[in-house]
Structure 1
């Protein structure tokens, strides 16, 4: 994994960006509000869809059509649940710490989209006889930043405890910039995980959710880059 390199890069970017946060976000004005399509509209299809996103040309097409699942589907759900939970933890901080209305709106949309997806994936795992992550827990990571045994710390885009502590202590424009910078990397990790599910998964609804995640979170990445003045 690229954890060491990306973590150092991320921290340098956060430190540099925070110094000019107020100026950049003020210049953005209201341009970013609602700029990304999000993926809140996609999770309902993932939880109840009877039409898989896989096509007959896909290696997993036959399995998707039959409604069976494979190890990749299980790994996707077991990994994405704690990944989403951390995004929700980050988003929950915005209401009381963000100064930008655009950041608060984005955080609310993250919560609206990802909380139902957690519930859907938990249902899949239970129906498959697999153990979902415990509510409120994050396998492989505790809040001190120490990796555990199950490897969630290695999932792409996951913040470590130090990053989360810094975000919790930030406020105002500094929080806005840090939140956007860290959430971009978090979303990029989710897109990477979802792309692997689209390629290797067999379960139609899980592949459909992965497609929603790629589409929605890619749009939110573009929105966040615009708020940071990168586009």
Structure 2
């Protein structure tokens, strides 16, 4: 019995020491762990809060306005460019018109996709652009009618003059998007528009003999 009692007491003492060690470790972990958890919690919301503002998916009202405005703006540029196929005399003008169409048609599809994903209304293809005449660089109905009636060198001059103005409007709209937009893709497209269309403006002015 004495041996059994001694053995049981020794076991109990060992268990008590182990429990004390476990409690001490947990106590120390609570102090340090709380600090680390606190930093992690602070960092977590900050990171997630910063994420949406810089992610390609996040957007704001300016992004919507950019897409809804640039789509009909591009559509009118495509209408102008397609007129060059059988009206322009200059190979350079025809080449420029072709490049404009190849660049802007895919951008229209991309912006239409954004608006759909955002649950926003997208301008319909072939719509009357008279309601957008207040946008920078948009041609009036009279301008478009005059361009349609032109051929040869007269068409080239009118096309280049109107397209310079049209491009300048697009650059202004894209610059606003770069400054105030939030959507990564929209801001990147705006940057591409500024770069490409400024280069084409310079090209067109050279063809007009202005530079």
TM band (smaller chain):
0.7 to 0.9
Equivalent residues in 2 for 1:10-29 (5 A)?
none
Deviation at 1:176, TM superposition (A): 0.2
Aligned pair in 2 of structure 1 residues 175, 67: CA closer, same or farther (>3 Å)?
Answer: same
How many aligned positions are there?
Answer: 162
Using CA pairs below 8 Å that are at least 6 residues apart, which structure has the higher relative contact order? 1
Deviation >2 Å, runs of 4+: 64-67
Whether the 8 Å CA contact 2:136–2:172 is kept in 1: the answer is: yes
1:169 aligns with 2:141: no
What 5-or-longer segments of structure 2 have no aligned partner? 1-49
Equivalent residues in 2 for 1:44-193 (5 A)?
63-65=53-55, 67-139=57-129, 141=130, 148=131, 152-193=132-173
In the aligned structure 2, how far is the partner of 1:208 from the partner of 1:230? Answer: 30
Whether the 8 Å CA contact 1:85–1:138 is kept in 2: the answer is: no
In the aligned structure 2, how far is the partner of 1:66 from the partner of 1:198? Answer: 14
What 5-or-longer segments of structure 1 have no aligned partner? 1-59, 142-147
TM-score (norm 2): 0.74
TM-score (norm 1): 0.68
Aligned pair in 2 of structure 1 residues 74, 138: CA closer, same or farther (>3 Å)?
Answer: farther
In the aligned structure 2, how far is the partner of 1:227 from the partner of 1:61? Answer: 46
**Superposed CA RMSD:** 1.4
Normalized per residue, the structure richer in helix is: 2
Aligned pair in 2 of structure 1 residues 85, 73: CA closer, same or farther (>3 Å)?
Answer: same
In the aligned structure 2, how far is the partner of 1:91 from the partner of 1:61? Answer: 40
The structure number with the bigger radius of gyration is 2
Deviation at 1:64, TM superposition (A): 2.8
Deviation at 1:166, TM superposition (A): 0.4
